Amino acid sequence: MTEHAPSPAVVAGRVAARLGTRFGEWFTDDEITDVVLDSYRRFTHLDGHAAHPRALTAQFAADRLDARLFAARARDAQRPPSVLFLCAGNAGRSQIAAAVARALGGDRVRVVSAGDAPAPRILPPVVEVLDEIGVPVIGEYPKPTTDDLVAAADTIVLLNCDDEPEVLGGREAIHWSIPLAHASGRTGMRRTRDDIAQRVAGLLASIGVPPASL
């Protein structure tokens, strides 16, 4: 007897149930289910985006619910500052910036990255040049920009974005222009990494998070 993969609706229900054990204190079952279904649609509607949209749905939905909780703590003086790095594909520059920011800021800053049109995966050269300096991107993945990710950000940085995404809703953002030539080849990617790392260190210092050393 041939076994078939469960339908998206069945998987979404299972994901929502699991997330309910983690977020049920703050969100209703319907709210959690809505986030799960919307997260699934965002991945499957991106042509060829991901080989495992169901697994990514679970991770993305959890990240979005966590962002909503963080945004609700806006008046909490003990809450760390948060930074959102955005670029088109969320596979290169924004992933480098986010990874470096986590390495330099640790738990003193909340860091998220996203993109307008997420790529299928983080670019392998990005992973490689970050590995060279001992900065991990394990567990990270290209993800779409959503209202909840934006709402949770105190500082938004756009990398090589000519136009601000509509999802920002007029929020002020910092623009970083990283030369496209930097992205060519391993040597170019190292220049991109080092350029971004210098900018990230300056950004963290400006928001009251003295950066550690790489």
Cα(93)–Cα(78) distance, rounded to whole angstroms?
30
pTM: 0.92
According to the model, what pLDDT value does residue 183 have?
A: 61
Q: What is the pLDDT of residue 82?
A: 98
83 SS3 class: strand
**CA gap 82, 209 in Å, rounded:** 11
Q: Among 49-53, 84-88, 90-94, whose mean pLDDT is lowest? A: 49-53
Which has more confidence, 73 or 52? Answer: 73
* 32-59 pLDDT, tens digit each: 999 999 999 888 766 555 567 788 899 9
The residue type of 120 is: P
What number does CATH give the domain 80-214?
3.40.50.2300
Residues 87/118, Cβ–Cβ less than 8 Å? no
For 136-142, what is the mean pLDDT?
A: 93
For the domain spanning 7-76, the CATH number is 1.10.8
Q: What confidence tier does 147 reach under pLDDT thresholds 50, 70, 90? A: very high
pLDDT surpassing 90 at residue 184: no
Check residue 1 and give its pLDDT. 47
pLDDT for 17: 96
> How far is the C-alpha of 91 from the C-alpha of 63, rounded, in Å?
17
- pLDDT tens-digit profile of 13-28? 999 999 999 999 999 9
Average pLDDT over residues 117-126: 90
Judged by average pLDDT, the poorest of 58-72, 95-109, 168-182 is 168-182
Question: Domain map of the chain by residue range?
Answer: 7-76, 80-214
85 close to 97: Cβ distance less than 8 angstroms: yes
Residue 101 pLDDT class (50, 70, 90 cuts): very high
Concatenated DSSP letters for 154-212? SEEEEES-SS--GGGTT---EEE---GGGGSHHHHHHHHHHHHHHHHHHHHHHTT----
CA distances from 43 to 17, 50, 56, 59 (A): 20, 7, 8, 12
What's the chain's average pLDDT? Answer: 90
Q: Given this model, what pLDDT does residue 157 score? A: 97
